[in-house]
Structure 1
Amino acid sequence: MGRIRRVGSVKQELLQKSKEAALSAVQIFNNPNISFKAETYIVLMIIAWTYLLHAFYRSTGIEYRYFQTQANGKRKFDRTKNGAYKFWELERCLNDESSPLDKDTSNNLRFLIGIRHEIEHQMTTRIDDILSAKFQACCLNYDEYLRKLFNDSTMQRHLSFSLQFSSISDEQKEMLSDKKDLPGNIKSYILNFDKLLSDVEYGSPKYAYRILFVPKTANRKGQADQVIEFVKADSELAEKVNAHYAVIKETERPKFLPGQIVSYVQSKGYGKFRMHEHTMLVKQEDAKNTAKGFGVMIAGKDWRWYQSWLDFVLDHCQKNKSLYEGPVSLKKRA
């Protein structure tokens, strides 16, 4: 029991430090009085992601310290000159086959790691506008995986659009060509990294979150102006800009009945996950707590589940394959 508590304690400490680093990154980047914000943001978010993945590996029992296997089969852990363990850096965490991150999120982080390598050797000019789409994606990705891996939604209220005193440029290549004082190594790195991505990977909002802002004034007195213009996904404007921007869709979130959740999960090969198992998981996770954002009560009496709960259930089954894998059983539970 002592070891279990220790593992949990370290995991919670890592998560707390991770969230503090992420919040500091956002607060600094949104501070108009700081000019060295992009560089600071990158360093702090890399720390935040590193601790987040350390917490994940800790909770799943994966060794994330460097070590050498000796002839007798025992591990000899690598240490610093002062005797501390050498833990995996973020890139090593991403490279591990057990990494829980999807490819687009990993691409975003690998890009930022490469930028950090470039800027740590020399001073840079302002690169905030050039990289802001990647920064926004990094933020949203972090919040998604904090919720997905640890069911922690405390960061959402801190992630918002900040007010800017500068206009927003059109395309990355045009921005790069306009930035005459941008260091050549930074410009080359950005263009070369993007070239290696497929069109699908480059266009993913998890790699770079690009939003179209449309200047607009209210048509009537007393009508509030909106900073963000919502464009219909099937509109002519959306078709023109969709190649370079993520168009925000103003749409109703899909909702699922419990039976639909169970049927979908069973269709993925987890036939032993039945309605009983679903009910027990709901109780175990306190999933109907509205603060967790897994679902909503309709008309005060009927509960419906969001996609986030379906993803959570599927992830739970994947992590417990030995319990749920198999064909759908037609027998009733005793």
Structure 2
Amino acid sequence: MSRYDKVDSAYKFLKGKEVSQDSFSLDELAKATGWETGTCKTYVSKRWFQYVHKDQKDFKVSGVAYLSKKEFRAIHSQKLTQLEDQSEQGKLIKKAKEFALLAVSTYNNPFTHFKTHGFIVDLVIAYTALFHAIFEKRGIEYFYKKKDGTPKLIDGQKKAWELTACIKEYWGSINTAEKANLELLIGLRNKIEHRSLPELDLMVAGYCQSSLSNFEEILINEFGDNHSLMANLAIAMQLTRTATAAQEDALKKFQAGNYKVVRDYIEQYNHALPDDIAKSQKYRLNVYLIPNIEKNKNKADLAVTFVKAEDLTADELAAYEQGIALIKGLESPYKYRPGQVVEQVKKVHPNFNMTRHTDAWKKHKARPARPKKEHKNEYCGYVSGFDGYLYSQKWVDLLIAEIK
């Protein structure tokens, strides 16, 4: 009798359950393998935790079907105290987590001058490894192939999909805030790759924070809570005496000419997004970081509270206005394309159309008939990144009120 007989029985049992997508109990596993139920419980939680997950009272399998019998034996033979997954999937998860933490370390390091540059580069690697791990679990081929079907090779290694291809496979044609956030950062990386723009950091901090939160959420949803990064992270320390002056100086530099390409890119990208995505915290995190005055000093281990803007009442929001004056100053008033203006007005006046909109801007002289890049007023402005005119909320409000 081979020492792997019971292990091989477990492999056959788990693989079958995954193929049939059926859940199973520990008693069923014990009956199929010959182990005691208590032993099965230990193996499920300590040796196979990457592949076996709790499903209400029972368990479900994910990823065992793509392991060979030899790979499953190797995973099972690890010491109970050794929780690291040595499969290709496990190695990719480890790589993804380490580069995500490296991205945070780069961003939070006070001696790092180009925070955003380093953060995006490391996070792109982290996301790419994470998606490759997910595709490993799902049995999806994530390598480029030649016309004859053989793998493309780079330095003798199979050429794997880059992040853009991974995004297309993972989300497909579905538009989500997480997808929009990641595509923005990829484009931003391409824009700043050969530019020295350290003052960019403050302006894109919300996008960077959302991308990190989204990364961890995908990681946990796909591979379980034990992969959470929170245990390794802490809030970066702030030097508040100089923060305001430094932020104002950074804002002035951001408005300078050498930042135009990046400003136009972000502005154009944001304007093209649906409102629900553009305002999502998963696209760009907007929070207040305020002191938490704890009455019981023994409970106040970390006297800081994150407050989501969307959760505040009107009075609470007004109370924090000074705290976000600088950030709000970056928001362009020109948000709507002509078609979006028509859609907004039609919600109140169903007969409104593009012809009436054209008549309206001519009547109010909201914009010139021909493109003038310097044109800006309270209703309409020429946006370089968009290469055309966009309209403000004031313009939408005027049309609705005038028609009424």
Q: Specify whether residues 101 and 83 from structure 1 end up closer, same or farther in structure 2 by C-alpha distance, changes over 3 A only.
A: farther
State the partner residue of 2:113: 35
Match status 1:157 vs 2:231: yes
SS in 2 for 1:62: coil
Match status 1:179 vs 2:254: yes
Q: Distance in 2 between matches of 1:87 and 1:231?
A: 38
Counting only pairs closer than 5 Å after superposition, residues 135-150 of structure 1 correspond to structure 2 as 135-150=208-223
2:153 paired residue among 76, 79, 90: 79
Q: Distance in 2 between matches of 1:68 and 1:46?
A: 25
Q: Distance in 2 between matches of 1:55 and 1:217?
A: 39
Tell me if structure 2 keeps the 8 A contact 1:176–1:187: no
Deviation at 1:164, TM superposition (A): 2.4
Deviation at 1:180, TM superposition (A): 2.8
Q: Distance in 1 between matches of 2:98 and 2:119?
A: 12
State the partner residue of 1:104: 177
Q: Structure 2: give runs of 5+ residues left out of the alignment.
A: 1-68, 76-84, 325-404
Q: What's the TM-score, normalizing by structure 1?
A: 0.60
State the partner residue of 1:212: 288
Structure of higher RCO (CA pairs closer than 8 Å, 6+ residues apart)? 1
Q: What's the TM-score, normalizing by structure 2?
A: 0.51
1:19 paired residue among 90, 93, 97: 97
SS in 1 for 2:146: strand
Q: Distance in 2 between matches of 1:45 and 1:38?
A: 10
1:2 paired residue among 63, 70, 74: 70
Match status 1:130 vs 2:208: no
State the partner residue of 1:260: none
Tell me if structure 1 keeps the 8 A contact 2:71–2:87: no
Q: Specify whether residues 104 and 61 from structure 1 end up closer, same or farther in structure 2 by C-alpha distance, changes over 3 A only.
A: same
List per-residue Cα deviations over 1:171-229 (Å, max 9, x = no partner): xxxx8676234521111111111111111101111111110245x69699979794436
Match status 1:114 vs 2:187: yes
Q: Give the total of aligned pairs.
A: 235
State the partner residue of 1:188: 264
Q: Distance in 2 between matches of 1:11 and 1:100?
A: 26
| RMSD (Å) for aligned C-alpha atoms | 3.7
Deviation at 1:136, TM superposition (A): 0.8
Q: Distance in 2 between matches of 1:158 and 1:99?
A: 32
Tell me if structure 2 keeps the 8 A contact 1:8–1:59: no
More helix by share: 2
Tell me if structure 1 keeps the 8 A contact 2:207–2:283: yes
Q: Distance in 2 between matches of 1:160 and 1:117?
A: 29
Tell me if structure 2 keeps the 8 A contact 1:15–1:52: yes
Q: Structure 1: give runs of 5+ residues left out of the alignment.
A: 170-174, 246-334
State the partner residue of 1:228: 305
Q: Distance in 1 between matches of 2:234 and 2:198?
A: 25
In structure 2, give the amino acid aligned to 1:141.
N
Q: Specify whether residues 176 and 111 from structure 1 end up closer, same or farther in structure 2 by C-alpha distance, changes over 3 A only.
A: farther
Deviation at 1:2, TM superposition (A): 2.7
Q: Distance in 2 between matches of 1:101 and 1:8?
A: 33
- State the identity %: 26
Q: Distance in 2 between matches of 1:231 and 1:63?
A: 40
Q: Specify whether residues 162 and 10 from structure 1 end up closer, same or farther in structure 2 by C-alpha distance, changes over 3 A only.
A: same
Q: Distance in 1 between matches of 2:189 and 2:295?
A: 48
Tell me if structure 2 keeps the 8 A contact 1:104–1:204: yes
Q: Which structure is larger by alpha-carbon Rg, 1 or 2?
A: 2
State the partner residue of 2:42: none
SS in 2 for 1:105: helix
More strand by share: 2
Q: Specify whether residues 155 and 213 from structure 1 end up closer, same or farther in structure 2 by C-alpha distance, changes over 3 A only.
A: closer
Tell me if structure 2 keeps the 8 A contact 1:11–1:59: yes
